[in-house]
Amino acid sequence: MPLKDEETKELLISMTLSEFTEHFESFATFIEEAWEQKDLEILLAIIFDCEDFIHINGHQFKCYSQTAKEWKDEYRKNREKRREIANGTCEWCGRKKGTHCHHLIRRGRLVLYNDIRLLRILCSKCHQLFHS
């Protein structure tokens, strides 16, 4: 029998940090795999699910929250690391020069969005694929 909305909410709110982290790690792995396969449809589906998951559950864990400055510093640091991984090229097509750093998961005031696994260096053309 499907859970009623209230019961679902209760379950989600009672999620512990370690359960949350475990779920998030699975999402990160799925995203990496879908990226490797270059399957945009599956990738976007996982991204939407992950976005919902973080949106519903992430905010209760204060350790994931940051001030705007801390958020920016973390972003800059991880963007540079991601650029090193990308080695100057677009991570989707591998050909063109990658100049944009894209957040796979919609931006919010959670350090999680700046996880290096959720950032990608993209050329302008490929960047559009993720904003349409």
By CB under 5 A, name the binding residues for Zn ion: 90, 92-93, 96, 102, 123, 126
Q: Which amino acid is at 128?
A: Q
Least separation, in Å, of the C-beta of 14 and Zn ion? 34
Least separation, in Å, of the C-beta of 124 and Zn ion? 8
Under a CB-based contact definition with an 8 Å cutoff, are residues 74 and 66 in contact? Answer: yes
| 82 or 102: CB nearest Zn ion | 102
- The full DSSP string for 3-16 is PPHHHHHHHHHT--
3-state class of 55 per DSSP?
helix
| 105 or 123: CB nearest Zn ion | 123
Least separation, in Å, of the C-beta of 96 and Zn ion? 5
| 59 or 95: CB nearest Zn ion | 95
Least separation, in Å, of the C-beta of 44 and Zn ion? 13
d(CA 16, CA 64): 13
| 34 or 123: CB nearest Zn ion | 123
Local structure of residue 70 (DSSP, 8 states)? H
Helices (H) and strands (E) counted in the chain, each on its own, are 5, 2
